[in-house]
Homo-oligomer: A and B are copies of this chain.
Amino acid sequence: MKAKRQRRVAIISTGDELVQGRTVDTNATYIADRLGAIGIEAQSIVTVGDYPEQIEWAWHHSLARADIVIATGGLGPTADDRTSETLAHVADAELYLDEEQAQRIRRFFEVLKRPMPENNLKQARFPVGAEIIPNELGTAPGYRLAVPQGQRRPIAVVLPGVPREMKAMLDTQVIPWILSQSEDDRSIVSRTFQTFGMSESALDEALMGAIDPDEARLSFRASFPQVSVRIAVIGKQSEAEHKLEALSEIVRARLGDAVVAEGDVTMEQVVGELLKRHKQTLATAESCSGGLIGNRITNVAGSSEYYLGGVIAYSNELKRKTLSVSPETLSRFGAVSEETACEMALGVRNLSQASLGIATTGIAGPDGGTKEKPVGTVTIALAADGLGSTNVRARSYQLWGNRDWIKILTSQVALDWVRRHLLGRDPLASDFGLRGSRWQSRS
């Protein structure tokens, strides 16, 4: 579905590093995404280097076909930052020094206890008529400027190129301003659901008919191995919030356990929060994931509170010596088996005295597969008090993709086992959307 068109918006990115291929232009993508959330599809994105004639070219052609042109970059203090002088030329306006902004920049350096290079005051110079957009995070303010084009008066919106500063200014000032332009008192409220275990099309199907496109915008973004689902509602603030809450309830009901988190939260953060809430500790016994689960868990600040550590049991020798996997199990069932996984999970739990022990073993490839256990065969086991009669359960899956993907998926499924277990669900009750996964429970 094409987004509805309201105001026509174009995007300009400036910077030598962009046209030289040294930096990927994520600013333009971010702006386009935020515009999409309010139902506006960008007309064009034009990227040019720091040359006045190129910047002028970009402005001319973008202003000619849009009501609003959002530009980033070229607001720095050095000689090759030319956005304002070029735009002033295009708009046939003079530049003036804004005393208030100049003071602010001076204070910025005072706070940092650093001398201010005089050229920084360049960032307090604006085309006459500019409405300043404050920058809370850096020295370069942005601004809006009406640029006459015959009968039309499209608006230029100029923002700094530093992503952190640009994003904050866009989200808190530019997007609300665009909304205020298009209708009286509408604002946008949105919520993102992080999901795992359903494909984009399965999510789409599950939500079919739940969201009236006239009421809200539903969008999916896949970031392997998760898919995020975003609902955005435009309307009067209180009504929109009410509507969003109602739609969120529907999403939660329809997607169920596939929703890992709401907001900008990772699986490992969710698992950490659950472990803390339930006052439990975790240890890992990793073979095919090779330390990735430990790495993900310890990416979360404060994880030492609930993560005791684990064993990367890549060799059978280490499986035996540190995790007490029996030589009989290894020779009879092989390293990649539910029997071995169970002994690994029990072994690391016993070794560390953690409440939960999670284990992975599998064939990440590209070599090592057999007809019976092809590349992508992965077994997960979880050991915990009261889990079946033996305090441990395991299941095998047939994963797909290259070595990296198999490792990432393995770590994701293992973390989701812990999440589901702590939520009181049966981790074996889901196939995580993994096609061809085999049900071979054992308890």
Chain A residues in the interface with B (C-beta under 8 A): 2-3, 16, 18-26, 28-36, 41-49, 54, 57-58, 61, 65, 219, 221, 283-284, 286-287, 289-295, 297-299, 301-304, 307-315, 317-318, 321-322, 351-353, 364-368, 403-404, 407
Complex CA distance for A1 and B312, rounded to whole angstroms: 48
Chain B residues whose C-beta falls within 8 Å of the C-beta of A41 in the assembled complex: 16, 19-20, 49
Given A311-B312, A312-B294, answer yes or no on A44-B54 (Cβ-Cβ < 8 Å). Answer: yes
Complex CA distance for A275 and B31, rounded to whole angstroms: 47
**Is there contact, CB below 8 Å, between B301 and A290?**
no
The 7 closest A-B pairs by CB, nearest first: A290-B298, A291-B294, A21-B33, A21-B32, A291-B291, A309-B314, A45-B47
**Is there contact, CB below 8 Å, between A29 and B21?**
yes
Chain B residues whose C-beta falls within 8 Å of the C-beta of A30 in the assembled complex: 21
Q: 18 extra interchain contacts, Cβ-Cβ under 8 A, other than A23-B29, A291-B310?
A: A20-B33, A21-B29, A24-B25, A41-B49, A45-B48, A47-B47, A284-B291, A291-B292, A294-B295, A294-B312, A298-B364, A301-B403, A302-B367, A308-B314, A308-B317, A311-B322, A312-B312, A317-B352
Given A290-B295, A291-B293, answer yes or no on A19-B43 (Cβ-Cβ < 8 Å). Answer: yes
**Is there contact, CB below 8 Å, between B46 and A32?**
no
Question: Can you spell out 24 A-B residue pairs with CB atoms less than 8 angstroms apart?
Answer: A21-B32, A21-B34, A22-B33, A22-B221, A24-B26, A24-B29, A25-B28, A57-B65, A61-B61, A284-B312, A290-B294, A290-B295, A291-B310, A291-B312, A294-B295, A295-B407, A299-B407, A301-B365, A303-B314, A308-B315, A309-B313, A311-B322, A317-B353, A321-B352
